[in-house]
Amino acid sequence: MVKDLEDVVIRTVSRILVPFIQIYGLYVFVHGHGSPGGGFQGGCIMAASFILLVVAFNLRESKRRLKERTNAIFCALGVFIYAGTGYLSFLYSGNFLDYGQLSNLFPTDPIKARYYGMAMIELGVQITVMAVMVSIFLDLITAGKHEETLEEDGK
Partner 1 sequence: MNKIAALIVTLIAGGVLFYSTAFFPKWGDPKQPASIHVSPRYIEMTLAETQVPNAVTSVLADYRGYDTMFETSVIFTAGIAVMMLIRRSR
Partner 2 sequence: MMLHFPVLLVVVPLVMSFFIFVFGLFQRRICFPLTLVTLAACLLFAGGSFWTVLSTGQPVHYHLGAWAPPWGIEYVVDHLNGLVLVGLAIVALLAAIYAKTMVEREIPVAKHAPFYALYMLQATGLFGMTVTGDMFNLYVLLEIASFSAYALIGMGEGAAPFAAFRYMIFGTLGACAYLLGVGYLYIITGSLNMADLQQILTPLYQSQVVSVGFAFLLVGTGVKMAYFPVHTWLPDSYTLAPSSVSVLLAPLFTKVGAYVLIRILFTVFDPSFSTTLLPATQVLGWIAVAGILFSSIMALAQTDLKRMLCYLIVTEIGYIGIGVASGNRLGLTGSIFHILNDMFMMAGLFMTAGAIQAHFRTRKTDEFAGLHRKMPVTSAVLVIAGLSVIGVPPTCGFFSKWYLLLGTIQAEQWVFMGTLLLGSLLNAILFFRIFERSYFEPRPDPPHLGREPGTRFERAAMSELVPMILTAAFIILLGLFSGYIVQYSIAYAVPKGF
Partner 3 sequence: MTDLILSNYNYWVYVVLIMIGFYGMMAKNNLMKKLIGMNIFQWSIILFYISIGAKKGGTIPVVDPSLHPAIRALDYVNPLPHVLMLTAIVVGVATTGIALTLLILIYRKYGTLEEDEILEALKK
Task: Note the residues at the interface with partner 3 (CB under 8 A).
Answer: 34-36, 40, 136, 139-140, 143-144
State which residue, 5 or 83, has the beta carbon closest to partner 2. Answer: 83
CA gap 63, 57 in Å, rounded: 11
Site string for partner 2, 61-100 (x = CB under 8 A): --------x--xx-xx--xx--xx-xx--x---xxxxxxx
Q: How far apart are CA 112 and CA 132, in angstroms?
A: 31
**Smaller CB separation from partner 3, 36 or 154:** 36
Q: What single DSSP character describes residue 33?
A: G
The DSSP code for 79 is H
By CB under 8 A, tell whether 99 contacts partner 1: yes
Residues from 95 through 124 that contact partner 2 (CB under 8 A): 95-100
Q: In 3D, which of 51, 53, 66, 59 has the Cα closest to residue 150?
A: 59
Nearer to partner 2 by Cβ, of 27 and 80: the residue is 80
End-to-end C-alpha distance for the chain, whole angstroms: 13
Q: Which does 115 bind (CB under 5 to 8 A by kind): partner 2, partner 3, partner 1, none?
A: partner 1
Residue partners of 30: CB distance under 8 A and separation at least 6: none
Closer of 92 and 106 to partner 2 (Cβ): 92
Dist CA 140 CA 120 (whole Å): 30
Residues 1-40 that bind partner 1 (CB under 8 A): 32-36, 38, 40
